[in-house]
Amino acid sequence: MTRALAALALVLAGAPLAAPLAAQQPAGDPMARAYDLERRGSFAAAADGYRAALARRPAEIGALLGLERVLASLGKSAELVQVVPAALRAAPTATPVLSLAMRAWWRAGQPDSARAMAERWSAIVPEDEAPWRELGNLAIADRNRVAAKAAFLEARRRIGRPDLLAAELAQLAGAERDFATATREWLLALRALPGYRSAALAGLGVAPEESRPAVLKELGAAGTPEAERMAGELLARWGDPVGGLRRFAAALPADDSAAIEALRLFYEQLRGRTGPDVRRAQAMVLEQLAARSTGPQRARYQLDAAQAYGDAGDRAASRRLLGALAADTSAPPTLTSGATSTLIMLLVEEGKPDEAAAKLREVGAYAIDPEERAALARRIALGWGLRGDFAEADSALADDESVDGLAALGRLRLYRGDVASAVALFQAAGPYAGTRAEATARTQLFALLQPLEADSLPALGAALLALDRGDTTAAVRELGALAATLPPAKGGAEVRLLAGRVERGRGRHAEAEQQFRAAAADGVPATAPWAELELARTLVELGRPKEAETQLEHLILTYPQSALVPQARRELDEIRGAIPRT
Amino acid sequence: MKRRDFLAAGASGAASLALVPAPWARFGRASWMLVPMDDAQTDHLKAYGLAFRAIERGLKCEWLLNYRGGAFLVPGDAETRRDATLAGVAAAPIDDGALTQVRAEIQLGNMDAVPLEKAPKVAVYQPKNVAPWDDAVTMVLNYAGIRFEKVWDPEVLSEGLKTFDWLHLHHEDFTGQYSKFYLNYAGAPWLADMVQRSQAAARQFGFPNVPAAKQAVAREIRDFVERGGFLFAMCTATETLDLALASEGVDIAAAYADGTPMDPDAAAKLRWDLALAFQGARLETSPTTPVFSDIDGHQVNSADRRQPLGSFTLFNFSAKIDPVATMLVQCHRQVIPDFYGLTTSFARRTLKPGVVVLADEPGTPWVKYIHGERGQGTWTFYGGHDPEDPQHQIGDAPTDLSLHPHSPGYRLILNNVLFPAAKKKELKT
């Protein structure tokens, strides 16, 4: 058979099938036509179809709802009232018709008629709050909170249940900034349906600062563990995560699994937020979770808690947990090795490289990944360097030929003032060794070293060592003395710039200003724009924006090719109020 | 300078373009800088400030309409060069030979050069309280570095507008209904502050209520235009200004604003001859729906009637025949994404005859940007709230214009600020 014949055969074969299908579609059924027209987006024609169906059966709910839909799409919802009287005559007690009539009257701007529908509907189902909920929701959609509240309260009055529609009333009270009432309503709603918890927290969480005491007072007055836990979670949201956790934890359920669930929810609330207080609260939650867990899960919580305590600056708590975990023979090896690594880093940061080295030796050769072991060894070496024990530090890095090792060695040489070796080692390490923060710091250091002509500058080494030890006073003293001995273009300006940054970082703005002014006045092209930008920032912090403005203008006009010019323009705009402050 | 003054001045812009040295000599032998306003410009918005400040310093500039996106010719003196560098505005020195070529090109095409001679004195109508929404014009004037003064009801009612050339209105409700946020934001501190300040101002001038005071303010603004002032309005100030003007003697305010409900027959009683731009609009009767009438095509706060955002297209005008309209549409983009406001657009059927449509959304029953004359002055209405925040909500942070230095929507606002500086030749139409 040719392709043309085959196609013809298919058409003929299809013909008898198509006929019965068409016959199933009642050609004169306006409902079917209207549905089809609505589906195709012909809303005006669909509306005519639904009206035709309603002419035959005025209370046909499908047609009424269809007409409501298409009129809304046409922006003619008010026209729905035209079919309502006939529908009500045909089905005076049908609640779907009453519901639709209520909506129609409301949208036609006739709230009294809408309320009359609610009355009729309520008379049919006197124990049901649905008519009043629907009336209230119509008012809310219209942003008429007064009418909405009246409808919800009417339901309570008629049915005689003071907890009815509490969630709706809570949201209304919140919208009216009456957060004490909102709290009471949310507590009622939660008693009936605990699933409202997230909505309640979200609704009360937005309370402004002046309303928060009232919220906490209402929750305290409720005297239930659930209310206390809510108070704790709200406190955490409002910037007191540790206080919030304490209040929350005091009201935990006795049952471990329920308590774990509650603690997890609290932890989730803290996720994504930053700051030492948040990390401390997270650590406390994790420690509580560990106390209620067993096996690997317990070890995981302990490790996470130790890291969180460390991030929060509570080294003692971190060390306590890590030590316990590292010694826990029942914990999974991967976790104990992680705990050991963290503990070693902590010990180095606390200035105890010997203890850290001993701990690293204690760990079996295969307990820690070789790369991790090498990284820890570098940390320990830098720890020795910071202590001034350079021989030990060099020895620890003797076999490390990685780029990270070269970078660490370069820093150790710099501490001793060996500028030439440090530059060579930094160059060999390249720009990407170590973490991003380490690489950035090294690049800045490199900018400081490049203009120096001397191969050896012990004073610079001493200053940087003091800086890395956190002794900013000594660092500034050393840098100041060094700058006085160096020509501006040969590193003097850069050293002053660094001194200024250190002073500004420790809040000594007047001293920072002096350093930046000196560095800017030197006019060294690579340094002066930075010094002027830092000087302008310092002047803003000193409350002298006009001078800052002049300084930024000077920067832009004097160094128009500097990469800092866009930033200077932005800060100039901020000072002038031309853009919002960031 | 009032509009009539420069109409009568008759100094031909074309003359300044002639390829003969005489008019050029008016500007002396100083070197010039060309400030391109096409995609070569590094900060379109600040370029307006550069030109404005040059005029403020008494220097003469030119606006090269339709040439490189509406470029500016500014003096090449040290102060202007310094200003351009500080602002980050691209401006290149141009020698006499190159300038002659530019002028020849302008002469041959749909372009023109308009001298800019006197910086208008700018006032922005703004309440004293800090409203929880941003004001596009204030922001862009600040960003461009164009100085302005703030005026509000007491200043306007004390004939304070007489000292200004240019007045801007933004998100103000001249029907005195607090943008119809009164019921929906009941209890919000900013609303309470707004109500208290408005009522105090009304009392101070002996008005029985805020709607009456705002109507008087609207009349003062119309008088300002009729005397030769330049009015630029955005967002809901456009629609409510006209509603307030048309409702002379008719109560169109909800009961919460003046103690009595709206006149049920108000729409039929409106006197559109008193309004600037609109006619035949139907009023929104619900006091809780923040919609004023069907002038707005988008009805953003009406769940049933809200229309989606599209983009609007600027019209082309003949630069030599219709320089005012041409100035108002100078832009490096012809199609611009639309943005909502309490009044987003203007229904075509509500526009009075004679209103010049500067931009519309093709295929829709609304327009975006319109212009007209009243008495000796002009008005320009631009729908929407913030060109770079299409769905600006109450409480949203203000827009940082340093992130939008090329905003075409904001450029249209600045066209309005600069056009009163133009020394316009006699219109040929």
> If contacts are CB pairs under 8 Å, which of residues 138-197 in chain A contact chain B?
141-146, 176-178
Task: Give the type of residue at B113.
Answer: A
Cβ(B111)–Cβ(B66) below 8 Å: yes
Q: Does B186 touch chain A (CB under 8 A)?
A: yes
Q: Does A223 touch chain B (CB under 8 A)?
A: no
B303-355 pLDDT tens trace: 778 899 999 999 999 999 999 999 999 999 999 999 999 999 999 999 999 99
Q: Do A143 and B401 touch (CB under 8 A)?
A: no
- Gap between the Cα atoms of B203 and B154, Å rounded: 11
Residue A461 phi, psi (nearest 5): -60, -45
A5 Cβ partners below 8 Å, 6+ apart?
Answer: none
Closest in B183, B285, B402 to A109, CB measured: B285
Q: Does B379 touch chain A (CB under 8 A)?
A: no
Q: Do B145 and A578 touch (CB under 8 A)?
A: yes
Q: Do A572 and B86 touch (CB under 8 A)?
A: yes
Q: Do A580 and B398 touch (CB under 8 A)?
A: yes
Which pLDDT belongs to residue A285? 96
Closest in B288, B304, B402 to A573, CB measured: B402
Q: Number of residue pairs across A and B with CB atoms under 8 Å?
A: 61
For an interface test with A, give the residue of B148, B288, B298 to mutate (most A CBs within 10 A). B288
Which pLDDT belongs to residue A131? 94
The DSSP symbol for B282 reads P
Which pLDDT belongs to residue B224? 97
- Gap between the Cα atoms of A155 and A333, Å rounded: 62
For residue A427, CA distances in Å to A385, A408, A458, B370 come to: 20, 12, 20, 63
Average pLDDT, chain B: 88
Q: Do B304 and A107 touch (CB under 8 A)?
A: yes
Q: Do A145 and B184 touch (CB under 8 A)?
A: yes
pLDDT tens digit at each of 582 positions of chain A: 334 333 333 233 333 333 333 334 444 678 888 988 888 878 889 999 999 999 999 999 999 999 998 888 777 888 899 999 999 999 999 989 999 999 999 888 888 899 999 999 999 999 999 999 999 999 888 778 889 999 999 999 999 999 999 999 999 999 888 999 999 999 999 998 888 888 899 899 989 999 999 999 999 999 999 999 999 999 999 999 999 999 999 999 999 999 999 999 999 988 888 889 999 999 999 999 999 998 888 888 998 999 899 889 898 899 898 888 877 777 787 777 788 888 888 889 888 999 999 888 887 666 778 888 889 999 999 999 999 999 999 998 888 889 999 999 999 999 999 999 999 999 898 888 878 888 888 888 888 998 898 999 999 999 999 999 999 999 999 999 999 999 999 999 999 999 999 999 999 999 999 999 999 988 888 899 999 999 999 999 999 999 999 999 999 999 999 999 999 999 999 999 999 877
- Gap between the Cα atoms of A300 and B129, Å rounded: 54
Give the Cβ contact number of residue B232 at 10 Å: 28
Residue B347 phi, psi (nearest 5): -65, 130
Q: How far is A107 from chain B (nearest CA, A)?
A: 9
For an interface test with A, give the residue of B402, B404, B410, B414 to mutate (most A CBs within 10 A). B402
Give the Cβ contact number of residue A261 at 10 Å: 12
Q: Does B364 touch chain A (CB under 8 A)?
A: no
Rg (C-alpha) for chain A, rounded Å, is 37
Closest in A143, A557, A577 to B86, CB measured: A557
Is the sign of the CA dihedral B93, B96, B102, B107 positive or negative? positive
Which pLDDT belongs to residue B186? 67
Q: How far is A209 from chain B (nearest CA, A)?
A: 13
Which pLDDT belongs to residue B18? 34
- Gap between the Cα atoms of B74 and B47, Å rounded: 10
Which pLDDT belongs to residue B187? 67
Q: Do A573 and B143 touch (CB under 8 A)?
A: yes
Residue B8 has pLDDT above 80, yes or no: no
Nearest in space to A216 (alpha carbons), one of A191, A196, A236: A236
Angle, CA A191 vertex, CA A186 and CA A195 arms, to 5°? 75
Q: Does B23 touch chain A (CB under 8 A)?
A: no
Cβ(A234)–Cβ(A270) below 8 Å: no
The gap from C-alpha A83 to its chain's centroid, in whole angstroms, comes to: 51
The DSSP symbol for B371 reads E
Task: Give the type of residue at A478.
Answer: E
Residue A212 phi, psi (nearest 5): -65, -40
Distance between start and end Cα atoms, chain B: 22
Q: What is the number of residues in chain A?
A: 582
- Gap between the Cα atoms of B99 and A310, Å rounded: 68
Which pLDDT belongs to residue B132? 64
Nearest in space to A489 (alpha carbons), one of A437, A431, A450: A450
Write down the H helix ranges in A271-332.
276-291, 295-312, 315-326
Q: Do B288 and A176 touch (CB under 8 A)?
A: no
Residue B73 phi, psi (nearest 5): -110, 115
- Gap between the Cα atoms of B1 and B229, Å rounded: 9
For residue A340, CA distances in Å to A320, A333, A377 come to: 12, 10, 13
Q: How far is B405 from chain A (nearest CA, A)?
A: 11
Q: Do A143 and B288 touch (CB under 8 A)?
A: yes
Closest in A107, A176, A577 to B142, CB measured: A577
Q: Does A569 touch chain B (CB under 8 A)?
A: yes
Closest chain B residue to the Cα of A579, Cα to Cα: B400
Name chain B contacts of A566, Cβ cutoff 8 Å. Answer: 88
Closest chain A residue to the Cα of B184, Cα to Cα: A143
Mutual angle of helices A472-485 and A492-505, in 10-degree steps: 160
Instruction: Burial-class residue A265 by CB neighbours within 10 Å (0-12, 13-18, 19+).
Output: middle
Q: Do A580 and B184 touch (CB under 8 A)?
A: no
For an interface test with B, give the residue of A69, A77, A137, A143 to mutate (most B CBs within 10 A). A143
Which pLDDT belongs to residue B255? 83
- Gap between the Cα atoms of B324 and B326, Å rounded: 5
Closest in A72, A178, A570 to B402, CB measured: A570
Cβ(B330)–Cβ(B356) below 8 Å: no
A41-96 pLDDT tens trace: 788 899 999 999 999 999 999 999 999 988 887 778 888 999 999 999 999 999 89
- Gap between the Cα atoms of A243 and A251, Å rounded: 13
ipTM of model:
0.81
B115-150 pLDDT tens trace: 998 899 999 998 877 666 778 999 999 999 999 999
Closest chain B residue to the Cα of A77, Cα to Cα: B304
For residue A109, CA distances in Å to A75, A105, A120, A138, B263 come to: 14, 7, 19, 11, 15
Q: Do B88 and A146 touch (CB under 8 A)?
A: no
Lowest-pLDDT range, A357-366, B32-41, B238-247, B415-424? A357-366
From start to end of A139-290, where are the E strands?
Answer: none
Closest in B288, B397, B400 to A142, CB measured: B288
Q: Do A144 and B183 touch (CB under 8 A)?
A: yes
Residue B400 has pLDDT above 50, yes or no: yes
Q: Do A142 and B401 touch (CB under 8 A)?
A: no
| Token pair 């935990």 in the structure block, residue | A252
Structure tokens at A36: 């089809």
Closest in B85, B184, B397 to A556, CB measured: B85
Instruction: Burial-class residue A484 by CB neighbours within 10 Å (0-12, 13-18, 19+).
Output: exposed
Q: Which of A215-219, A435-439, B28-32, B418-422 has the highest mean pLDDT?
A: A215-219
Angle, CA B25 vertex, CA B19 and CA B28 arms, to 5°? 135
